[in-house]
Structure 1
């Protein structure tokens, strides 16, 4: 028997979902057609942005430039889009996941994450995970 579907991890509860390929594609098209969040590309933008990044990199000190370039792909690609089915919601909409691990910005993003993380984690509004959030809620009086 051949299944014409996709195996996907559910958005919550760790379940595995077998989703009909046409339903998955229809949900992806529904979300990607929402121009409030996504716009169709008329040209391949990576080459233009790669040149802009190279010009920006020339203005940075050598050690910063090297850290960024170490993590920037030599042949960057566009981000990839996928959905995790929300089986706990009516109609099982998909939670969009956009992976930028192979994109032109991955090196800059990683560098900024390393620089800003020590400051962000000290902010009173920082929440590490669900357990940390619940602990903070318990510490609030009259909750």
Structure 2
């Protein structure tokens, strides 16, 4: 068995070597003999922001973990804790209620049930719930401070970056990089897309309510003709809808770092309709002649037709996702 002290010294040397390349993907932070956290992160800056320098570079040096590492909150959120416990108790009671029910395939399109099973069906389970609640409450009300997994300097750097209004921090379009963008450049790049009247049109008001009414009318007609079940009709009906949100992901692998437009339809009137349509057309996609499952599948297809490809041919690919609904 190797000496822990000797191993730690080797890790320190590895860290010192890695930190010479401050924003390289292989950076590590070492806090103890047994805790090694790979960052898996690259930090890039857009041309308008320039290079990381001064206080901003110092803050990034303190936060090289990457987006996959979560920091502990300085204090317990009692509201969220109570909600999490309530949902947990509901799940275990549901498991008990339907324990002896035969397995069945649920209807794929239905609204999630909010039914809460009655209490005191199984005394042992209720005792368990009471013990867990008591222990969690005692721990949450303990006078001891919550252990923070970030040093004080890094916690301060994180708070400082959150309050900055002159930068935008976004994930890159490709890879695991985190991009620091000048806010005005981000706005200018966004407006360059939205001002393209070939793809976007300026409207006088938000048409979300109008779209929701049109969708609801169509769904009601389909339901009246028995083309939709009651559960599917309720699932597809838009409620509390909002407009889709436009966003950009910077392409750091291209000159000038242009933005890739992303439209998030979460909460929009057509969100559930998209899920419904995708459910039925997904099995048909693999039956099309042009379907390619992944890179190995593409290579196998090339191997099958290699005798038909001229020796002077240059093979190139152009892959993109085109929205169809």
Normalised TM-score (structure 1)? 0.86
The 1:15–1:53 alpha-carbon spacing in structure 2 relative to 1, beyond 3 Å, is same
1:113, 1:94 → 2: CA distance? 27
Which secondary structure does the structure 2 equivalent of 1:59 belong to? helix
1:35, 1:102 → 2: CA distance? 25
2:240, 2:219 → 1: CA distance? 17
1:130, 1:68 → 2: CA distance? 39
Structure 2 counterpart of 1:14: 176
- Give the number of aligned pairs: 142
1:99, 1:68 → 2: CA distance? 23
The 1:138–1:96 alpha-carbon spacing in structure 2 relative to 1, beyond 3 Å, is farther
1:10, 1:35 → 2: CA distance? 26
Structure 1 counterpart of 2:279: 114
1:129, 1:96 → 2: CA distance? 24
Q: Flag the structure with higher strand content.
A: 1
Deviation string 1:55-96 (CA, Å, 9 cap, x unpaired) is: 101222232x63253255520000101111011111111000
Structure 1 counterpart of 2:239: 74
1:53, 1:136 → 2: CA distance? 42
Report which structure shows greater RCO (CA 8 Å, sep ≥6): 1
Which secondary structure does the structure 1 equivalent of 2:221 belong to? coil
Structure 2 counterpart of 1:105: 270
Structure 1 stretches lacking a partner, 5+ long = none
2:271, 2:233 → 1: CA distance? 8
- Contact kept in structure 1, 2:219 and 2:237, CA below 8 Å: no
Structure 1 counterpart of 2:191: 29
Which secondary structure does the structure 1 equivalent of 2:272 belong to? helix
- Contact kept in structure 2, 1:72 and 1:105, CA below 8 Å: no
Alpha-carbon shift at residue 11 of structure 1 (Å): 1.1
Which secondary structure does the structure 2 equivalent of 1:37 belong to? coil
Equivalent of 1:42 in 184, 204, 208: 204
Structure 2 stretches lacking a partner, 5+ long = 1-54, 56-159, 310-314, 316-325
1:57 aligns with 2:219: yes
- Contact kept in structure 2, 1:11 and 1:95, CA below 8 Å: yes
Alpha-carbon shift at residue 18 of structure 1 (Å): 0.7
